[in-house]
Amino acid sequence: MANDRIFNFSAGPSMLPLEVLNRAAAEITNYKGSGMSVMEMSHRSKVYQGIFDETQEKFRKLMGVPEGYKVLFLQGGATMQFAMVPMNLMTKTGKADYVRTGNFANAAHKEAKKYGEANVAGSSEDRKWAYIPTQDQLTLDPNASYLHYCSNNTIEGTQWQYVPEAPAGVPLVCDMSSDIMSRPVDVSKYGLIYAGAQKNLAPAGLTIAIIKEDLAGNEMPFTPAIMSYKNMIEKDSMYNTPPCWPIYMLGLMCDWVESVGGTAGIEQLNIKKANMLYECLEGSKLFQLAADKDSRSFMNVTFRTGNDELDAKFASEAGKKGFSNLKGHRSVGGMRASIYNAMPIEGVEALCDFIREFEKNA
C-alpha cells in the first residue's frame, strides 16, 4: 500500500483518496504561488474567493444542482441542521413529518419536537431499524411543513433505495450525511438536502446544505442569524468565517469524483464494492448481515457473528492486519465496514479475503 497506509473502514471522519491527500500535500505550504497555505488565507482574499467559487461550481455540476437552488457551506455538523431545519421551515404549518429509521433520523426527530409538532410518518423500530419502510408504509400529512428522512443510516447499515414521495406541496428534506455524492441524485425532488462532509466529501468541519431558495425567509423570530438559511444565502455562506480548509478539500474531492466518471461512475464503483462484500458475507456460515436485503446500505455494511467475544476478536485481529475501525457502533455492537467513495476496491477485496480466512480459523 502506498505510504504504508492502512485500509480505514471508519464511519466518519473517513478516509480520503490518496490522490487528493497528495495534491493537498503538494499545495500545503504555498498554494499556487500565493506564498501561503490555504489554511492561512483570509476568507475575504481574492485567492480564497477563487477557491470558494470554483468549489461551488464543481459541486453544483457534479450534483446536478438546478437553478433556483443555493449551495451553502455551513458549520455545526448535520446535528446543527437537526435544529436549523425546523427553525427555518416548520413555520409554514407548525408541524412536520419525520421518518424514524435509526439513530440520526431519530435524533433529528427528537430535536424538531422542540420547535413544533414533529409527527412520525413511518418507523422501522419494530425490527430494530433493520429495514427501510416502503412508500405504502408511510403515513403522510398533506399539511406538514416538510417531510424529513435520512437517506443512509450510518450506524444501522440501511439505505433508502427509493426517494419517498411527499404529498403535493410538501417539501422533501433529507439528511444525506453518509451517502452524499455516492450516487446520482435528482436534486429537483428535494426542498432541502444537508450533509456533514466528513464521510464522502472532505475533512470534518464543513456542512453542506442544498436549499430551494424560495423555502428560505420564514424562520422563527428567535432563530440565530448564523442559523438562518436566508441570512446565509444573502451572505453567500460568508456571514462569518467559513470552514476554509474543508471547502478547499471538497474542491479537490470533486475533481477526484469527476475523474472516476462523476456520480454515475462512483455509483458503479460503490455498487461493485458493496456487492462484493455482501456476497462474501452471504456465503459465510459464521457471519450474519444486520439489514434486510432490499434495505442494505452501499456505504456501511453491518454484520455480526452473534457472539460478542468473537466479534471483538474479529475487530482486533483485523486491526493487526491493517483493517481499522471495523468495530460496530457502541449502540449496536457487531461489526461495520464503512466503504465510502474513497475506499478502493482493493480494500474490499482484502477485507473479503480476511473474512474468509477468519472463518476458516474460527
The residue number with the shortest CB distance to ligand PLP is: 77
Among the residue ranges 76-84, 87-95, 237-245, 290-298, the one whose residues contact ligand PLP (CB under 6 A): 76-84
At closest approach, how far in Å is the CB of 247 from ligand PLP?
15
77 binds ligand PLP (CB under 6 A): yes
278 binds ligand PLP (CB under 6 A): no
**Cα–Cα distance list, 236 to 50, 207, 242, 268, 276 (Å):** 14, 14, 10, 34, 42
- Residue 58 CA to residue 255 CA, distance in Å, equals 8
Closest CA to 13 of 195, 199, 177, 180: 199
175 binds ligand PLP (CB under 6 A): yes
10 Å Cβ neighbour count for 136? 6
17 binds ligand PLP (CB under 6 A): no
12 binds ligand PLP (CB under 6 A): yes
At closest approach, how far in Å is the CB of 1 from ligand PLP?
26
Closest CA to 181 of 208, 162, 155, 157: 208
- Residue 257 CA to residue 264 CA, distance in Å, equals 10
111 binds ligand PLP (CB under 6 A): no
- Give the residue with the Cβ less far from ligand PLP, 177 or 325: 177
- Residue 341 CA to residue 55 CA, distance in Å, equals 18
At closest approach, how far in Å is the CB of 297 from ligand PLP?
10
Size of the site for ligand PLP (CB under 6 A): 11
196 binds ligand PLP (CB under 6 A): yes
Closest CA to 203 of 135, 249, 159: 249
Binding site for ligand PLP (CB under 6 A): 12, 77-79, 104, 150, 154, 175, 177-178, 196
